[in-house]
Structure 1
Amino acid sequence: MNFGQSFKLAVKALRTSKMRAFLTMLGIIIGVGAVIVIISLGNGLQGMVDQQVESMGVNLIQSMVYGRGDGTTMNLDPQEMYDLVDAHPDVLTGVSPYVSAQTTVRHNDTLYERTRLYGVSEVMYKAETGATLDGETIAQGRFLQYIDVARSQNVCVIGAFLAQDAFNGDALGQSLTIGGVPYTVVGVLKQSGDTLTEGGRDDQVYLSYNNALKLMGTRNVNLYLFTSTNRDTAAAAKELIDAKLYDFFQDDDAYYTMTMAEQVTQINAMMGVAMLVLVAIAAISLLVGGIGIMNIMLVSVTERTREIGIRKSLGAKRRDIRSQFIIEAGTTSAIGGLLGILFGCLLATGIGTLFGGVLAAQMGGNVTFNATPTFEAVAVSFCVSVGIGILFGYLPANRAAKLNPIDALRYE
């Protein structure tokens, strides 16, 4: 009996008891579908991370400065970092101290206690992309300029919440009080969140880092954002920054520098481990499905014992009987795999659309999420499902092949 005949017999056996066949396939369907959904969502998340990196710039380098950590204080003057950039224009194009300040923001009699304040330099805004290094874009006016930072001028760029709540959308040239000092609004950021709420994503203010340090009563900057000339010089720029910081602190633990490429590698590595664990959990369903196939094939062998005896008496060899039941088991798992692929693709698309809509609302459309199943994931899932069917179907098939034809013919 050739493969085609065995396949037709397998399909006929499945059609004879449709409900039993479907229940047998259920574990395979769920397992394959779960694997495809997990891989699709993981690919979507990795794509989203890549989009964020592209928007922030692959040449961005972040340097955290902790100090000595031994009870002493050695504050690094931001001018040291500016001098480093000026000394190496071939690899570094700019630096922005990044200060997160806490103080009161007031407009007339209204006090905004949850507004986030960020002290930065003009390098924070990239003219070529029309966005800040953290992805914010300008809706009205301009961002901070060199003269604003160099002279510590009392100007600021505010988020969409303050522009609407305090100034009814007409904020340019208006004044608000930050830490008791009047500041003139020179720019308004584009709305990023889905709603304008106090303390939300759009409730923020950018001002000169010098002014932010004055508001905090300190000269200590803990975070610097550097930009390299391109992605290829980012590693060399990091080495220069680390060398400068080590020369100042004489302590490797006093700072930590990371390029965007390194951050993406770390994020993808963590996501890869998480996906591997989830896929392993989903694979349990495939194992259960394989056991179900083995169980139903054992029942099928018992039910068809007399048929096996007749075939053997007519000259069928052990390999013929074995191949027939293995093909039947493989066909069952293959059909289950195809149904699982269809189920997984539909579910992944639905979840991706829902998740993408939520992300677009929260992040202002700056990122898209596409949970599209890849050909590799579909192909591997299908091959694994067929392999499980053949693997778990071998024991019942071997048992059928070893039946004694005389005993099989006498079986009732």
Structure 2
Amino acid sequence: MSFTQSFKLAIKSLRTSKARAILTMLGIIIGVAAVIVIISLGNGLTGMVEQQVEKVGINQIYAYNWGFGGGALALDAQEIYDLVEERPDVFVGVTPWVSAGSGARKGSEKYEKTSIYGVSEAFYNPELSTTLDGDKLAKGRFLGYVDVLQRSNVCVIGAYLEENAFHGDALGQGIIVGGVPYTVIGVMKQGGEVMEEGGGDDFVYIPYENALQLSGTRQIQLFQLTCTSRETSGLAKELLTELMLDFYGEQYSDNGQTFYIQTMAEQVAMINGMMGVAMAVLVAIAAISLLVGGIGIMNIMLVSVTERTREIGIRKSLGAKRRDIRRQFVIEAGTTSAIGGLLGIGFGFLMATGIGAIMGGMLVQSMGVSGITFNAVPTFGAIAVSFGVSVGIGVLFGYLPANKAAKLNPIDALRYD
């Protein structure tokens, strides 16, 4: 008997008992659908991370400079600036990052949740027209070298203050930060979908020296550097680590209290690694449904062998060999699991699309970042693997009943009632 004839007989057998066939496939359908949904959501999250990194820049380095003795001894900004100037083949620029608390005032109106950040002119990339965090200017200009050098009382504000404090006309207007009047020279473009007090669009950028004076300290705890490329980020980290060790001493290199350096590439690798482990665990849990589905197929095939014992005896008496009987039942089990796999793929695709649309909207809104999308679409590889595993499980669990049918004695089978 050819494969085509065996396949037709398998389809005919499924048609004779549709309800039993659907119940048999149910475990496979649920398992495959679960795997498709999990992999699709994982791909969507990975895509979001990649988009965010692409927006910020993979060639970024974050150097945390905590110092010791309560911060009394900490690396000065000039040391970092000197290193950047010495190695233009590795570094493009550096900006100190100073958090100077919160609070601003426009006239009698107070904005107590407005975040105040101190940065340098290097925080803005004029070639890309974005900050190192990927935000764009909507109006005016960013802080310049002269502004930072002269500690000018100028600032760049977020879209929230532009809308609420200045009613859409902030350029050239004054705002009070830390009791000092500042002139607005630029307005950043709205980043989130919703603007709210204390949110991602409620901030003020001022020269970092001004922010240090406002915060009452000379310690800069974070430097954000840009490398010439992703390939030079490793060398950049080595140079920064060497500088920190020379300053603090080897005895402070292992306690994690003085400094910490991390590249954006390392952050991405760490996030993807964590997501990969989580995805593997979830897929393994979903695969339990496939195992249950395989047991269901084996059970129903054993019942089918018992019901068709007489038929097996007739075929053997007409010359059918063991391998013919075995192949027939293996093909039936494989066909059952294959159809279940196809239904599971369709069901999983619909679920992934629906859940992805809901979950993606929530994630994008919670991140408050524009230009980021969430696409929970199953890849061809995920579909192929899911379908292959479903067929494989059907064949594997169908082999035992098929082998039992092949070993039946034709005389005993013909006498079976």
TM-score (norm: length of structure 2): 0.95
1:22 has 2:3 as partner: no
Once residues 172 and 195 of structure 1 are traced to their aligned partners in structure 2, the CA distance between those partners, rounded to angstroms, is 22
Q: Does the 8 A contact of 2:103 with 2:116 survive in 1?
A: no
Cα deviation 1:260-283 (Å, max 9, x = unaligned)? 111111111111111111110110
Q: CA deviation at 1:313?
A: 1.9
C-alpha contact 1:141 1:172 (8 A) present in aligned 2: yes
Counterpart position of 1:9: 9
Aligned to 1:150: 149
In the alignment, the residues of structure 1 paired with residue 332 and residue 350 of structure 2 have an alpha-carbon distance, to the nearest angstrom, of 27
Cα deviation code 1:304-362 (max 9, x no counterpart): 12211221222222221111111100000011111111222222233333334344545
1:196 and 2:195 are equivalent in the alignment: yes
Once the two structures are superposed, the pairs formed by residues 135-174 of structure 1 within 5 Å of their partners are 135-174=134-173
For these two proteins, the number of residue pairs brought into alignment is: 411
2:335 is matched with 331
Q: CA deviation at 1:32?
A: 1.1
1: CA distance, partners of 2:26 / 2:132 = 49
Q: Residues 359 and 368 of structure 1 are in contact (CA less than 8 Å); yes or no, is this contact kept in structure 2?
A: no
Alpha-carbon offset, residue 404 of structure 1: 2.2
CA-to-partner distance for each residue in 1:222-254, whole Å, 9 max, x for gaps? Answer: 110011122222221111111111111112232
Residues 103 and 215 of structure 1 are in contact (CA less than 8 Å); yes or no, is this contact kept in structure 2?
no
- What is the identity, as a one-letter code, of the residue corresponding to 1:219? R
1:240-319 aligned within 5 A: 240-250=239-249, 251-252=252-253, 253=256, 254-319=258-323
Compute the displacement of 1:10 (Å).
0.4
Q: Please say if residues 65 and 74 of structure 2, whose CA atoms lie closer than 8 Å, have aligned partners that are also in contact.
A: no
Structure 2: distance between partners of 1:223 and 1:350? 41
1:228 correspondence with 2:215 = no
Is 4-13 or 191-200 further displaced after alignment? Answer: 191-200
Aligned to 1:14, what secondary structure does the other structure show? helix
- Taking the aligned partners of 2:73 and 2:80, their CA distance within structure 1 comes to 15
Which residue in 2 is equivalent to 1:35?
Answer: 35
The Cα of 1:405 is off from its aligned counterpart by 2.1
Cα shift at 1:407: 2.3
Displacement after TM superposition at 1:103 (Å): 3.7
How far is 1:368 from its partner?
A: 1.9
Q: Residue 370 of structure 1 aligns with which residue?
A: 375
Paired with 1:411 and 1:109, the residues of 2 have a C-alpha distance of 98
- Is this contact kept in 2: 1:37–1:348, CA < 8 A? yes
Q: How far 1:72 sits from its partner (Å)?
A: 7.0
1:71 Cα deviation from its structure 2 partner: 5.7
- Corresponding residue for 2:46? 46
**1:411 shift after superposition:** 2.1
Distance in 1 separating the partners of 2:392 and 2:267? 38
Aligned 8 A contact 1:115 1:203 in 2 = yes
Cα deviation 1:105-136 (Å, max 9, x = unaligned): 11122221211121111111111211111121
For the residues of structure 2 that align with 1:271 and 1:280, how far apart are their CA atoms? Answer: 14
SS of the aligned residue for 2:148 comes to helix
Give the distance between the partners of 1:348 and 1:187, measured in 2 at CA.
42
Whole-Å separation in 1 of the counterparts to 2:39 and 2:60: 29
Where 2:165 maps in the other structure, the secondary structure is helix
- Residue 407 (structure 2) pairs with residue 402 (structure 1): yes
Contact 1:159 1:188 in 2 (8 A): yes
Indicate yes or no: 2:388 matched with 1:383.
Answer: yes
Report the Cα distance in structure 2 between the residues aligned to 1:104 and 1:71, rounded to whole angstroms.
Answer: 25
Name the residue aligned to 1:206. Answer: 205
Residues in 2 aligned to 1:394 and 1:204: alpha-carbon distance in whole angstroms: 66
What's the counterpart of residue 81 of structure 2? 82
What amino acid sits opposite 2:29 in the alignment?
A: I
Q: Deviations over 1:383-409 (max 9, x none)?
A: 110000011111111121222222222
Matched residues in 2 for 1:118 and 1:311: separation? 84
**Separation in 2, partners of 1:374, 1:55:** 24
- Asked whether the 8 Å contact 1:359–1:367 carries over to 2, the reply is no
| Counterparts of 1:308 and 1:36, CA distance in 2 | 38
How far apart, in 2, do the equivalents of 1:195 and 1:264 lie?
Answer: 27
SS for the counterpart of 1:167 is: coil
Q: Which amino acid aligns with 2:222?
A: L
> AA paired with 2:46?
Q
Tell me which amino acid in the other structure corresponds to 1:23: L
Contact 2:313 2:410 in 1 (8 A): yes
Deviation at 1:373, TM superposition (A): 1.6
Find the aligned partners of 1:43 and 1:75 in 2 and give their Cα distance.
Answer: 42
**SS across alignment from 1:231:** coil
What is the alpha-carbon distance in structure 1 between the residues aligned to residue 206 and residue 172 of structure 2? 15
Code of the aligned partner of 1:373: P
Name the SS for the 1:98 alignment partner.
strand
Taking only aligned residues, the RMSD between alpha carbons, in angstroms, comes to: 1.6
Task: Find the aligned partners of 1:388 and 1:103 in 2 and give their Cα distance.
Answer: 60
Q: Structure 1 residue 126 and structure 2 residue 130: aligned?
A: no
Gaps of 5+ in 1: none
Rounded to whole Å, the distance in 2 between the matches of 1:67 and 1:275 is: 38
